[in-house]
Amino acid sequence: MGKDGLVIVYTGNGKGKTTAALGMALRAVGYNHKICMIQFIKGTWPYGEIESVKRLQPELELVIVGKGFVGIIDDKSPHEDHEKIAKEAIQISKEKIQSGNYNIVILDEVNYAINLDLIHVDDVLNLIKSKPDNLNLVLTGNYAKNEIIDVADLVTEMKEIKHPFKSGIKAKKGIDF
């Protein structure tokens, strides 16, 4: 059975979903494959990968949506700002997916965007339907919807057994961000 492009989902409450997607990207760069990672929920502090992807350019591209359009967005920003960013991310994802320029497109934290009602699950199902056959599409974030799990080829649930946060250990540079 030849199926060139997979739909891959990393979900669950344990750590490692975004890391797994980045690991796959790192592997694919080794074959000069082209990868685009689009971040659906923008963090408020700088992540290590923002710097490291620069070393993996041009094969790996990171799109941080909303830069210079609503300014810094954080948890205190109104719902509409987050919604605007997520909708913009869907539009960018559509363009990237349909461009035919990539082997892998990663929609990082897209499951959270659905769960927070910033976008509708159908927006994502439509992206999946419209993807070129040979494109691998990776979706991360906990609370993956059953409709997405149904159409995926690979679903891994990261399950928390222990997390240092629970014993009061703060997020660490190079490990968590």
Binding site for ligand ATP (CB under 6 A): 13-19, 109, 140, 142, 158, 160, 163, 165, 171, 176-177
Q: Which residue intervals of 30-120 are DSSP H helices?
A: 48-55, 79-98, 110-115
Compare residues 4 and 48 and give the one whose CB is closer to ligand ATP.
Answer: 48
User: For residue 60, what are the contacts with CB-CB under 8 A and spacing of at least 6?
Assistant: 25, 29, 35, 36, 37, 53
Which of 3, 9, 5 is CA-nearest to residue 146? 9
Q: Is 15 or 87 the residue whose CB approaches ligand ATP more closely?
A: 15
Residue 13 touches which of Mg ion, ligand ATP, none (Cβ within 5-8 Å per kind): ligand ATP
Nearer to ligand ATP, 49 or 61 (CB): 49
Contact 148, 125 (CB under 8 A): yes
Shortest Å distance, C-beta 85 to Mg ion: 16
Task: Answer yes or no whether residue 17 interacts with Mg ion by CB under 5 A.
Answer: yes
Strands 136-140 and 104-108: parallel
Residue of 7, 9, 11, 18 that binds Mg ion (CB under 5 A): 18
Contacted entry of ligand ATP, Mg ion, none for residue 77, CB cut-off 5 to 8 Å set by kind:
none
Residues that bind Mg ion (CB under 5 A): 17-18
